[in-house]
Every structure is written in structure tokens, then in C-alpha cells.
Amino acid sequence: MTRFCATIALLTLGCIPAAAAELTVAWTDNSSGMASFRVERRVVPDLAFTQIADVPARTTAYRDTAVVAGATHCYRVKAYDFTSESAYSGEACASAVASTYTLTVGKTGTGGGVVSSQPAGILCGTACAASFANGSVVTVVATPAAGSIFSGWSGSCTGTGPCTVAGNASISVRAQFSTLVGLSVARSGSGTVTSTPSGILCGSSCQRTFANGSQVTLTATPVNGFRFAGWSGGGCSGLSSTCTVRLSGSTVVSAIFQNRGAGSKSR
């Protein structure tokens, strides 16, 4: 073995994380510029190395752009000339970190609407995925179309308010839009009907729209001198003061109140 190969067998190796999803392999050339270098790589958990580059003399680094963000990559380098070669260097390992993360928005439900982001990038309808700088905060807002209501987030966000995320890996959220359907209450006699969730307050408001598929519980309360005499319509019946309606379209429920004196005479 020639003298330069014995010398460069002592080369050292390091992996320098780059700004994008790539890694730079750097080593020390102890051959006085006489040797070329062969770069090999394995991706954990693989044990076998694969040659990825031959680089010319006087080169002491190689930028590997064919890496997987988040995976651990291990490298080794061998020096060679036309007549001989060195032993492999020791391994050096590092993980590639992407400089951006992808936010993807999905839309579900029977209704329509638009999802937009601040900073700009998501405008769904048109663009339902965008990349943002690692660690940056993105706020996503859902705006229902006419005749629809925003029912809430799922995935990386919950609730019905703006969705705020930040990360260094892919994030996915889903916005559910539901169509609006009407619920009307007809009354006979004197009494009030209220709803849970709120919206119906009959006297004042006997009609309200709710998300299709939602459950609304109605409560009937007679005024003094009247009694509650039952429900009809919308799947409601009986004398219980409450009735739960599952909305699958526009629905009308009747609440019947009777004068206690009139009821007594009828018996």
C-alpha cells in the first residue's frame, strides 16, 4: 500500500445538518490532495452501505440531497487513487430536518365553505395544502357558505374557533361544514317553548336554523292557569315536558297547552 493511503486512513468524518432536507458530509483529507473519495450511505435501520458518490481530489465535503426528512443517515468515506485505496473511515450519523412543514386541510360534511390561513397559503376551495417555515405559527379560519354552518375542527384542532398550529412535521386538520335546516314550533294555548342548544324561545322566536343532523331538545313550560297537554309532529309525542328532535330536514313541532279550567270541564 502506498504511503498516502496509509496516511489518509486516519481521515475523520462529520455530518452537518443543512437548512433544507439534506445533509452535508465533511471529512479531512490527509493525502495532500492526491486521493479521490468514495462516499457511502446507509439509512437506519438498514445495515448495508450503498455508494452514493465519487468525488475528485481536493474535495472534502459532499452534499446529499436525496435524504428523507426525520430519518437517520450514516456515512463513511474511502480514499483511493489508481493503484490503491484506504480503509473506510468511521461512521458519522445525523438526521435530516426539513426547513418547512406541510399543513393540509380537508373539508367534510354536507355543507359548503372556505378555509383560509394567516399567513397566506391555504385557500380551500383552491389550495388545501401549503408549506410554512418550521416552527412558524399558522392560524386557519373556516367561513361557511350561505345556507351552511361551520360545525367544528377535527385532527390537530378542535372546537369551532380559529385553528392555530405550529410544527416541524406535517400537520392535518379537517373542517366540517353542515347544511342548515329549519326547526319551527307551533303553539296552541299559553306557554313557552325553549331549546337546547339555544335558539328557540317561543313566545319571542318560534323558528331557528340548526346544523343538519344535530339534536335539539325542546322544553315546554305552561303559564299559570294552563297545563302542557302534549307534543305532535317532528317525531315528538306524549306528555313529557321535553322532547328531543334529530334534524334531517326542515321540521315543525307543535306544543299544545290547555286551560286548566277547560280541561277540568272536559273530564
Percent of the chain with pLDDT over 90: 63
Residues 47 and 122 placed together within one structural domain of the fold: no
What order of strands is seen across the sheet that includes strand 215-222? 201-202, 191-196, 215-222, 242-246
The predicted pLDDT at position 39 comes to 94
Residue 238 predicted with pLDDT over 80: yes
pLDDT-derived band at 127, boundaries 50, 70, 90? confident
Q: In angstroms, rounded to a whole number, what is the distance separating the alpha carbons of residues 99 and 203?
A: 59
3-state secondary structure of 28: coil
Residues 115 and 125 placed together within one structural domain of the fold: yes
| In a domain? residue 207 | yes
Say if CB 215 and CB 189 are below 8 A apart.
Answer: no
| In a domain? residue 267 | no
The predicted pLDDT at position 1 comes to 33
91-102: pLDDT as tens digits: 888 887 777 889
Residue 204 predicted with pLDDT over 80: no
The predicted pLDDT at position 14 comes to 59
Helices (H), the chain: 3-8, 260-266
| In a domain? residue 214 | yes
Q: In angstroms, rounded to a whole number, what is the distance separating the alpha carbons of residues 235 and 243?
A: 9
Query: What average pLDDT does the chain have?
Result: 87
Residues 9 and 90 placed together within one structural domain of the fold: yes
Residues 7 and 18 placed together within one structural domain of the fold: yes
Residues 140 and 154 placed together within one structural domain of the fold: yes
Residues 174 and 188 placed together within one structural domain of the fold: no
The predicted pLDDT at position 18 comes to 53
Residues 108 and 188 placed together within one structural domain of the fold: no
The DSSP call for residue 84 is -
Lowest mean pLDDT among 21-35, 192-206, 221-235: 21-35
| In a domain? residue 238 | yes
Question: Tell me, what CATH number does 11's domain have?
Answer: 2.60.40.10
Residue 251's domain spans which residues? Answer: 181-260
Domain ends where: 111, 145, 179?
179
Residues 19 and 86 placed together within one structural domain of the fold: yes
The predicted pLDDT at position 146 comes to 94
Question: Tell me, what CATH number does 226's domain have?
Answer: 3.10.20
Lowest mean pLDDT among 61-65, 137-141, 249-253: 61-65
Domain ends where: 126, 147, 179?
179
Q: Which three cell numbers stand for residue 105?
A: 386541510
Domain ends where: 179, 212, 229?
179
The DSSP call for residue 10 is T
Question: Tell me, what CATH number does 132's domain have?
Answer: 2.60.40
When pLDDT is averaged across residues 246-254 and rounded to a whole number, the result is 93
| In a domain? residue 135 | yes
| In a domain? residue 126 | yes
pLDDT-derived band at 7, boundaries 50, 70, 90? very low
Residues 174 and 209 placed together within one structural domain of the fold: no
Residues 252 and 207 placed together within one structural domain of the fold: yes
The predicted pLDDT at position 265 comes to 43
| In a domain? residue 165 | yes
pLDDT-derived band at 125, boundaries 50, 70, 90? confident
pLDDT-derived band at 203, boundaries 50, 70, 90? confident
| In a domain? residue 143 | yes
Q: How many residues does the chain have?
A: 267
Residue 214 predicted with pLDDT over 60: yes
Q: In angstroms, rounded to a whole number, what is the distance separating the alpha carbons of residues 103 and 262?
A: 65
The predicted pLDDT at position 90 comes to 87
Domain count, the chain: 3
